[in-house]
């Protein structure tokens, strides 16, 4: 087996079979599942599918059009009562969860009273107002009435240049998929480069570097480390992706509308990957340089945290990027190292990022990645045997290679 693979395999095994790694691997899907579970539980607790009564003093619901219901929502039955006494008796008998009283002068006052013993479900309240709304528009053609009553489900939001369109209810899962891929890549990038920095710093701390360098070449060493660490993080991502896919399948089968449209725009995914790959190389090379330059892995972690903050800048400026996706700031952030990946993905949801910007960003990232590789190579040769002493930038740029 090539020595590069031996290094990769050792790195992989010594991390993946640690209890801490297995715990970290399981903790993320568990946390997400727990959060989703708690959310669904809270929502189900807030919903109540028992019938709802109403007394229509305004004559608005004399010949009622049923409340429009979309997707997987379960319709709530609305029961008319002639008198309040009848409705109250039904409420006390728990035949209905609540009842509404539409005032006689509703047309002038818009007054509707709600009577309940226990607060009614949110779904019932929401559907009753849709019920009122569609009946208020009963003189309109049914499709117009329905569209007006369910405005968020029928409006399509389209960007001015026509390059992007979103449903009124917000982006579907399929639309934000490239952003999710980008975030996953960013997680891989941040984790891998941090692991790499840690692994190189550990070799220095353990004083194993000198023994290793008389057994293998620096290329085999760094190449093996990178491969091993990418494999470690890939294991994590695959595990998390498997859980995500399982979640999507469950959600689609459950009829949740958000997961129904999974049509992916492969050109956006392609652009994301084109920026992501040199960004990954750039981060890995810089973290290697840091790992070699610092005196301890702890010091390296502190510096590594700064890089993480740089990658997260687009998140802090997300509102500006969404509001004006093709303005100067988003354009600059799309070109700069560290910020480009997330910025381009975020912008792509709301507007088409011009091809020249994607190409320029790939060029900038590639150039920076090549420079970082050169720098990491120098740092490695100069700093690999320097124990307890930090490598200075000045030395790095001036000194002879070894």
Partner 1 sequence: MMHTIKVSHVAKSFGETQAVADVSFDVERGEIFGLLGPNGAGKTTTIRMMLDLFKPDRGTVSILGGPMTEEKKERIGYMPEERGLYQDAPLDRCLLYLASLKGLSLAEARQRLGALLERFDLAAHKGKKVEELSKGMQQKAQIINTILHRPELVIIDEPFTALDPINTQLVKDLMHELRQQGATILMSTHQMHQVEELCDRILLIDEGRNVLYGNLDEIRRRFSGHAVLVRVTPVLSQAEGGELPSVAGVEQVVPHNDAVKLTLAEDTAPQDVLRTLMAQGVTLEKFEIAVPTLDEIFIRVVEGGA
Which spans of this chain sit near partner 1 (rule: CB under 8 A)?
1, 3, 6-7, 10, 14, 206-217, 385, 387, 395, 399-402
CA-to-CA separations, 300 to 199, 289, 385, 387, in angstroms, rounded? 10, 10, 16, 14
- Which of residues 201 and 209 has its CB atom nearest to partner 1 in the complex? 209
Nearest to residue 371, comparing CAs of 347, 334, 335, 396?
A: 396
- Which of residues 1 and 328 has its CB atom nearest to partner 1 in the complex? 1
Q: Are strands 52-56 and 98-102 parallel, antiparallel or unpaired?
A: parallel
**Nearest distance in Å: CB 210, partner 1:** 4
Sequence-distant (6+) residues with CB within 8 A of 317 are 329, 333
**Nearest distance in Å: CB 385, partner 1:** 6
**Nearest distance in Å: CB 402, partner 1:** 5
- Which of residues 84 and 395 has its CB atom nearest to partner 1 in the complex? 395
Give the span between the Cα atoms of 50 and 76, in whole angstroms: 7
**Nearest distance in Å: CB 239, partner 1:** 24
**Nearest distance in Å: CB 233, partner 1:** 20
Answer yes or no: are the C-beta atoms of 61 and 80 closer than 8 Å. yes
- Which of residues 140 and 215 has its CB atom nearest to partner 1 in the complex? 215
- Which of residues 183 and 216 has its CB atom nearest to partner 1 in the complex? 216
- Which of residues 216 and 320 has its CB atom nearest to partner 1 in the complex? 216
Dmax over CA atoms of the chain, in Å, equals 96
Answer yes or no: are the C-beta atoms of 52 and 76 closer than 8 Å. yes
**Nearest distance in Å: CB 377, partner 1:** 14
Map residue 389 onto helix, strand or coil.
coil
**Nearest distance in Å: CB 286, partner 1:** 24
Hunting for tokens 């499709």 — which residue is that? 143
Give the span between the Cα atoms of 205 and 83, in whole angstroms: 83
Six-digit token string for 59: 């004559």
**Nearest distance in Å: CB 229, partner 1:** 16
- Which of residues 179 and 212 has its CB atom nearest to partner 1 in the complex? 212
Answer yes or no: are the C-beta atoms of 51 and 97 closer than 8 Å. yes
Answer yes or no: are the C-beta atoms of 366 and 279 closer than 8 Å. no
- Which of residues 213 and 241 has its CB atom nearest to partner 1 in the complex? 213
**Nearest distance in Å: CB 205, partner 1:** 9
- Which of residues 141 and 388 has its CB atom nearest to partner 1 in the complex? 388
Q: Which spans in 167-217 are helix H?
A: 173-205, 209-213
**Nearest distance in Å: CB 370, partner 1:** 23
CA-to-CA separations, 176 to 157, 182, 192, 289, 348, in angstroms, rounded? 15, 10, 24, 34, 9
φ, ψ for residue 78, nearest 5 deg: -105, 120
Give the span between the Cα atoms of 393 and 385, in whole angstroms: 17
Map residue 114 onto helix, strand or coil.
strand
- Which of residues 74 and 400 has its CB atom nearest to partner 1 in the complex? 400
Handedness of CA 251, 257, 263, 266 (dihedral sign): negative
């Amino acid at each position: 087996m090539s020595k590069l693979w031996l290094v990769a395999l050792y790195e992989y095994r010594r991390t993946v079979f640690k209890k801490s790694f297995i715990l970290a691997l399981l903790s993320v899907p568990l946390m997400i599942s727990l959060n989703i579970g708690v959310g669904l539980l809270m929502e189900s607790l807030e919903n109540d599918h028992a019938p709802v009564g109403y007394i229509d003093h305004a004559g608005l619901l004399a010949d009622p059009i049923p409340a429009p219901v979309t997707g997987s929502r379960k319709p709530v039955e609305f029961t008319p009562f002639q008198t309040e006494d009848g409705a109250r008796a039904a409420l006390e008998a728990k035949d209905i969860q609540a009842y509404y009283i539409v005032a006689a002068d509703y047309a002038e006052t818009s007054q509707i009273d709600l009577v309940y013993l226990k607060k009614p479900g949110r779904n019932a309240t929401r559907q009753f107002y849709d019920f009122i709304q569609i009946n208020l528009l009963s003189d309109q053609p049914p499709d117009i009435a329905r569209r007006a009553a369910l405005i968020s489900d029928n409006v399509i939001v389209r960007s001015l240049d026509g390059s992007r369109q979103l449903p009124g209810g917000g982006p579907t899962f399929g639309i934000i998929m490239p952003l999710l891929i980008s975030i996953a890549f960013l997680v891989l990038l941040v984790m891998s480069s941090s692991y790499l920095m840690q692994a190189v710093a550990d070799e220095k701390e353990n004083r194993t570097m000198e023994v290793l360098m008389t057994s293998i070449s620096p290329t085999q060493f760094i190449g093996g480390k990178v491969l091993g660490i990418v494999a470690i993080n890939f294991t994590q991502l695959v595990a998390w992706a498997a859980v995500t896919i399982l979640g999507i399948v469950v959600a689609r089968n459950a009829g949740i509308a958000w997961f129904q449209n999974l049509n992916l725009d492969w050109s956006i995914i392609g652009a994301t990957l084109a920026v992501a790959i040199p960004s990954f190389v750039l981060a890995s090379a810089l973290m290697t340089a840091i790992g070699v330059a610092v005196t301890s892995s702890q010091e390296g972690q502190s510096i590594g945290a700064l890089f993480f903050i740089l990658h997260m800048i687009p998140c802090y400026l997300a509102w500006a990027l969404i509001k004006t996706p093709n303005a100067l700031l988003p354009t600059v952030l799309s070109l700069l190292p560290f910020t480009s990946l997330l910025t381009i993905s975020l912008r792509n949801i709301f507007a088409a990022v011009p091809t020249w910007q994607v190409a320029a960003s790939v060029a900038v990232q590639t150039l920076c990645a090549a420079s970082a590789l050169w720098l990491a190579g120098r740092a490695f040769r100069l700093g690999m045997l320097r124990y307890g002493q930090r490598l200075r930038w000045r030395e790095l740029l001036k000194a002879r290679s070894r």
